[in-house]
Structure 1
Amino acid sequence: MNSAESTLELVKQRKPRHALSRELYTNEDVFAEDLNQIWHKEWIFAGHTFEIEKPGEYFTLQVGHYPVVVVRDDQGIVRAFHNACRHRGSRICQNDKGKNAKLVCPYHKWTFGLDGNLLFAGNMGAEFNPKEHGLMPVNCEIVNSYIYICVADEAPNFAPFRDAVTPFIEPHFLDNCKVAYESNLVEKGNWKLVFENNRECYHCDGSHPELLNSFVENLSVAGVGGEEDPELTEHWNKCEAAGLPSRLVMGETGNYRMTRIPLSAKAVSYTMSGKPAVNGRLDKSGVEDIGALLYFLYPSTWNHFLGDHALSFRVLPLSSGETLVTTKWLVPKDAQEGVDYDLDNLTKVWLATNDQDRQLVEETFRGVQSPAYRPGPFSEIAENGVCQFVDWYCDTMKERLSK
């Protein structure tokens, strides 16, 4: 069997409401198919528009086998390109971020405009046509400061996700924000374990004391239906009356979810005290305790929006056993560090939580590599969210590998 056939067979062997098998986390052929069928075909969260406010500002990322550069051009348009020179393939932008008037390949100085057009290529002769050798574009969409890219030739329809997420994000005015702090953490585990860990709080009581000063998981919004919690319904009604969409919305295939949940009693932000971390508000609802807006889009991002700040998380697979998790703390653009917020107070809860999650993922990856490992059943009470993610993964792989 080839890698697609063997991966499909492994996916089909998964028992309903059970974890994935050892091979689906560790096998290199499976990882190759994860890249081919998911990461190279889905919309991937790249970064925020306010990270590249001026023409020439750019950032880079690696989506599976594809190096990508995202740049703002001279007209103010955000564009994405394959970060490979049209000459002999060198990466053009080799830093994580920067600012250039033009995109110049370090190898042979081929020079591209910020719109991707080739402007200069020395010693190529009279027959050479620069119009045929511009940078290869990458599909790029923007929704309320979030830049999403897709490296496939034909990207999935972005409109359903845009229509669903916009009403939730819009009241938080992210276009008027900045990154107060960025964390990049390499977790030595498979990307699926990283997302599985995020999709349940079954582990929180024993692992996340800082987070539990404010966060309370509501099992009614795990993403698989079920009865509404009266407290949750009351919170939704309060927030929606103030102009903040809150009720659970799920994508047709289960690939995205948006909802707002209450925090613990007297907590309004992710801080050790539960008090606001930032002076001022992201929203104009007039409601102090709006809880936390949670949204995810598989396979690359989950997000938390509070009254005073927001957090965006990006997941990128580096190998079958390494995953990059990038966290950005977002605050109003005019907020001043040391005046309107203390950086340690702002970041302490999630820096601790991220590192705790890293340890959980790494220990799980070590464990599932054992030939003795056998997948166990998910809790019907506390693991419906992680089951929903695993179901989405298996359904997606079955559909695409069967073609």
Structure 2
Amino acid sequence: MDKNTAVLALIRQRKERHALPRALYSDPDVYRQDLEQIWHKEWIFAGHTFELEKPGQYLTLQIGDYPIAVVRGGDGQVRAFHNACRHRGSKVCTESSGKVAKLVCPYHKWTFDLDGKLLFAGNMGPEFNAADYGLKPAHCQVVNSYIYVCVADQAPDFTRFRDAVSPFITPHNLDDCKVAFESNLVERGNWKLVFENNRECYHCDGTHPELLNSFVENLSVAGVGGEEDPELVAHWNRCEAAGLPSRLVMDEAGQFRMTRIPLSAGAVSYTMDGKPAVAGRLDRSGEADIGALLYFNYPSTWNHFLGDHALSFRVLPQGPNETLVTTKWLVPKDAKEGIDYDIERLTKVWIATNDQDRRLVENSQAGVSSPAYEPGPYSSIAENGVCQFVDWYCATMTDRLAD
């Protein structure tokens, strides 16, 4: 049995509305197929355009096997390149972010323009044609400051997602934002466990006291929708009357979802007291209580938008049992630290929540790696969101492995 067939057989072992079999969380062959069938084929969230405000600014990330550099060009365009010199493959951009006049390989000083063209390669002789050795581009798309990258030869359609998500994000004016704080947390768990944990709040009561000062999961939007409760509908009506799209929009395949939910009574932000963490607003709706706009896009990101700030989360697998979770707190560009916001107050809830989730994921990884582990059933009340994610994963992998 070849490896594709073996992984497909494992996926087909999964019982409906149950967790995945053990090997799908830990086996190196499964991880290899996750990379090849999902991470190397889908649009992956890289960062925000306002992190690359000036020409020469760049950020880097690792998408499975592919090191990528995203660069603001001299013409203002944001481009993505495979971060491997065309000489002997060294990384050209070696830091997580920076600013340069040109892209210079640290190994032999081959020098590339910000649009990827090779400008200089010493000692290569008269027969060498620099035009043949520019940096290899990767697909790059931008929607409301979100930079997405795809390393596939042919990228999937981006328009459907752009058209769905942009009306929700546009009122939050992210193009006028900055990163107030960034957290990078390595979780010793499979990337699917990280996303499963994110997609349910069944665990929240016993784990997230800081978050529950303001956040209330709405079960009617946690999965694929269901009966809408009157409080949610009233919240949608009020926000939409103020010009903020709010009603649930979900991709037919289940890959992305956007919706707005109310926070707990009296809370308007993710803070210990529920009060704003930042002076001023992202939106100009005039509606004081807009709750939280939530959007996810598998496999790499979930996001929260409040009235005063927003959070973007990026998930990147680093191995079968290791995942990097990057969180960025976004505030208005003109907000001043120490005057308009305090970093500890702004970040306290989600720094605590992320670390609590890390421990949950790592405990789960230890448990599902046991030979005694058997997949259990999902709650039909509280785990429709995690079931929806696992359904998407199984359907996507089955379609691609069965081809």
- Structure-2-length-normalised TM-score: 1.00
Matched, 1:274 2:281: no
Deviation of residue 294 (structure 1)? 0.1
Q: Is the 8 A contact 1:295 1:304 kept in 2?
A: yes
Preserved contact between residue 224 and residue 250 of structure 2 (Cα < 8 Å): no
CA contact (8 A) 2:120 2:130 kept: yes
Cα distance in structure 2, aligned partners of 1:67 and 1:343: 31
CA–CA separation in structure 1 for the residues paired with 2:63 and 2:3: 20
CA deviation after TM superposition for structure 1 residue 4, in Å: 1.2
**How many Å apart are 1:126 and its aligned residue?**
1.1
Distance 1:33 1:205 in 2: 35
Tell me what 2:116 maps to. Answer: 116
- Which amino acid in structure 2 is aligned with residue 270 of structure 1? Y
Q: Could you give the per-residue CA deviations for residues 131-183 of structure 1, whole angstroms, max 9, x where no partner exists?
A: 11100000000000000000001000000000000000000000000000000
In the TM superposition, residue 2 of structure 1 has moved relative to its aligned partner by: 2.1
Confirm or deny: 8 A CA contact 1:281 1:307 kept in the other structure: yes
Structure 2 counterpart of 1:327, which letter? T
User: Counterparts in 2 of 1:4-403, with a 5 A limit?
Assistant: 4-403=4-403
Kept after mapping to 2: 8 A contact 1:215/1:263:
yes
Asked if 1 retains the 8 angstrom alpha-carbon contact of 2:71 and 2:114, the reply is yes
Residue 175 of structure 2 aligns to which amino acid in structure 1? Answer: D
Partner secondary structure for residue 138 of structure 1: strand
Q: Which residue type is aligned with residue 300 of structure 1?
A: S
Q: Equivalents in 1 of 2:343, 2:129: separation in Å?
A: 52
Task: Report how far residue 226 of structure 1 moved.
Answer: 1.1
CA shift, 1:223, in A, is 2.9
C-alpha distance in 2 between matches for 1:290 and 1:278: 15
One-letter code aligned to 2:298: Y
Letter in 1 for 2:65: H
TM (norm. structure 1) is 1.00
Amino-acid identity (%): 75
> 1:45 is paired with a residue of what secondary structure?
strand
> Shift of residue 121 of structure 1?
0.7
Contact 1:304 1:310 in 2 (8 A): yes
What amino acid does structure 1 have at the position aligned with 2:178?
Answer: K
* Per-residue deviation, 1:231: 0.3
**Structure 2 unaligned residues grouped into runs of 5+:** none
Cα RMSD (Å) of the superposition?
A: 0.5
- Structure 1 Cα separation of the partners of residues 75 and 54 of structure 2: 10
Once residues 327 and 345 of structure 1 are traced to their aligned partners in structure 2, the CA distance between those partners, rounded to angstroms, is: 16
Q: Is the 8 A contact 2:223 2:387 kept in 1?
A: no
Residue 367 of structure 1 deviates from its aligned partner by 0.5
Deviation (angstroms), 1:225? 2.3
What amino acid sits opposite 1:201 in the alignment? Answer: C
Amino acid at match of 1:185: L
Taking the aligned partners of 1:239 and 1:203, their CA distance within structure 2 comes to: 29
What letter corresponds to residue 232 of structure 2 in structure 1? L
- Amino acid aligned to 1:379: S
Mind listing any 5+ residue stretches in structure 1 that lack a counterpart?
Answer: none
2-structure distance, mates of 1:333, 1:3: 49
Distance (Å, rounded) in 2 between the aligned partners of 1:377 and 1:333: 46
How far apart are the structure 1 equivalents of 2:53 and 2:345? 27
Per-residue CA shift, 1:335-387, capped at 9, x if unaligned? 00110011111000000000000000000000001000000000000000000
Query: Structure 1 runs of 4+ off > 2 angstroms?
Result: none
Cα shift readout 1:6-60 (whole Å, capped 9, x = no counterpart): 1111001110000001100000000000000000000000000000100000010
**Is contact 1:223–1:250 with CA below 8 Å preserved after alignment?**
no
